[in-house]
Structure 1
Amino acid sequence: MIVSKSFQWSEHRAGLALAALLLGGATPAAADSSMLDTLQMHGFLSQALVITDRNDFFGPSSSDGGSLKYTEIGANASIRPHQDVLIAAQVLSRRAGGDGSDANPVLDYGLVDYQMVSNQQRTFGVQLGRSKYPFGFYNQTRDVAFTRPSILLPQSIYFDRTRTLGLSGDGISLYLEERFGQGSLRAQIGLGQAQAGDDLRRTLRLDTVPGSLDPKSSAIAQLRYEHDGGRIVAAIGAADANARFNSSVPGLSDGDFYFKPWVLSFQYNAEQWSLTSEYAWRNSGLENFNNPAFNFDVTGESWYLQYTRRFHENWQWLIRYDSLISNRDDRSGSAYAASGAGPAYSQFAKDYTLGLQWTVNPRVLLAAEYHHVDGTGWLPIQDNPDPAETRRRWNMLLFQLSLRF
């Protein structure tokens, strides 16, 4: 997230709930009027219906009339106490299946942004606090439906079943933007601690092992170029996220988790259509356990190709192919199945998506999409605890109403 001194939070990036927090309890009479003039407050809400013929996604979607357990509510605000300083934060409540415990409001981001240089040619600044990672094209605004091309982002890149790891982190971030005659170049690097939530423990199959998974020092960086006013956008990003599992099991040592992805992104924007593609190479594993059954090292890859078409001013349709391979050395999952770890199809997912969006007005968005999926590589574990009961080929319908204020 890069901001300038003239930055104004758009409606999807501010919220009412944090106004009192950001003002530090000050009353309007006591606060500086010029500072209050910079206060921006907005919020958003999205509710979806998920229907699947097999497997469950974000709740019991394959039974009865589907699942309504996909809800996103956000409130955020920003204020500028000085022309070089911006304070911004967002609280997010997100329910995505499971037992609903993840719906508790959490701090999505909260930071102080200080810009040391800001002119027509260059912007250079530093952010302190919790910030969204510059991961791919959509990660920094992924929870706001109005910024997404579809109800679900490509799950091979933007995992929802392990979203906390790649979503945001606590620490320091430096950013630089250089503007040229035909384009702009942006660089950002962040150092701090990634989040290691319960979703990561479930994916690593450590949720049944007594102990805690705690974040360690991590880093992320992205270089992004925009040409001709955004007609062509290209980016490359890399991360080194780490966590430590502190074992409470007698005889089992502590272990370490690492996640080292590279992401290449490209987008071409014409007047009525856009073509977007991203590719990710992901190395991850567990190490240093004295029980070798826990240790592993695997490299996977993901990519998608997406075409969106805008028509009748407020309408957009989308077609996308999305591919996930958990292990490049075992693309079919046959070796995984032979080891008795689970079904072969749990190691990949090929998703064919059709989507439609209608922006009824600037504050209301209606969307629908259809997915035909071969494989369960990104299926949420909390909704499907027994992999043997899942099915390889399945279909999904989603409908979503989104509001912003």
Structure 2
Amino acid sequence: MAVLKAINGHTGCGRIKDYLEKGGRALLRDFFNLSWDEIEDKGLDAALKDEVDWAQEMDALRRDYGNDTPWKGQRAITFRHYVISPDSGDNIGLEGLRELTHAWVRKHFSDYQVAVVYHDDNGQRIPHAHIVVNNTNLETGRRLHIPNALDMNRSLQEVARARGLTAFDNEMPKGRVGRSDPRTPPRPRTRWATYINKAERGILDAGAYSWVSDIRNRVSVAKVLSRNEGEFMRILELMEVDVAENSAKASREDWIFSLADEPSRKVSGERLGMTFGKIALTERFERIGSYHPDAASSRAILSMATDAVEINDVAELGSLAKAVETNARYSIGSSADYGSRIETLQRRMEREAGSKAAAKCAERIQELVEAREYASRHSLVPDEVPARRHQSTGSNRWQYEPQRSGSRTQGAARGSSAARLNSRERQQEGRNR
């Protein structure tokens, strides 16, 4: 199914244009209601599109109508940025994505200036479309009324289905048993990405061992390293965590995590935080742009994590999980990314000095500083973003098996990990017979 993401813009379009087109990353650009129009100028020399400065044209129109000024005391939404990411199973090419995008844009934004920039800078090299819609209606001069995000996504599914592509069912999910209104999806236990209740907080503040935190740290490593459910389950096995489905009578689907050597200590994913639940994790695996460390970093992280589990070094595992989660939250691909993220937060903190937002920026800066120090100490992040490869081979291939050093050889470690995986697979085969 095609996935739609919507982001509000509050500045001029120059920055979003630079971001989308820097380094020659744009595969192609399409324009509507600008000095080039895909409908009116069809058949003309497409090289003329190179002369279009769409950011400048959008900013000028918006300024002429006064639509970049605050509205009712709130910052103006100067543009709307949508991202259409097609399903990898559809095997859609660039031209197919263009046709899908054109249809959706013409359906909703025929009276607005629109620039579409296509990328394929994800791990699978699947093309996706960035759509920038100026906030000014060309007919009325009024500001764009921001459509309901759910309705826009439903519309995209209809357009995709009409073209034979897979699509979400636009009917409201019925949820599970126990809801007064079966059409209403049940609410998650918490909206916090990571949830620590008072009891667990008290244990941690006292410096004592919390098996709930131990499980959360192991799952943190697994979810960042995994690209699909199969990898997630295999890495959890290496981390000595067992997984089971929750009760069919529960209001929401979820996984139950437990320590392999203490099966009575079990906790549901959403009890650990929203991002640890089955629903959120499944969406993460399906999302094209999900963060993942590069292959070398992934092997180093898994090696450190399994070593910590094997010798029961809870503190080291906690530090590793915290650093990995921070890297994922801020999309850290190289050492230089830490500095740029910190600088951005510092500028915001200066603008909003004395506010709660400034205090939050300070917390985030400290998180990044600690993650940078930890990653540098253990060589978990490359100095530069690795060159993109169409096909990974040899040492650049990400493997589930950690490469250890010390008393155990790398070959022995891989053999041990493989044995554990083979054992699990044999058990599964036995149950299926």
TM-score over 0.5 for the alignment? no
User: Relative contact order (alpha carbons < 8 A, sep ≥ 6): 1 or 2 greater?
Assistant: 1
Q: Which has the larger radius of gyration?
A: 2
TM-score category, normalised to shorter length: under 0.3
TM-score (normalizing by structure 2): 0.23
Higher strand share: 1
Higher helix share: 2
TM-score (normalizing by structure 1): 0.24
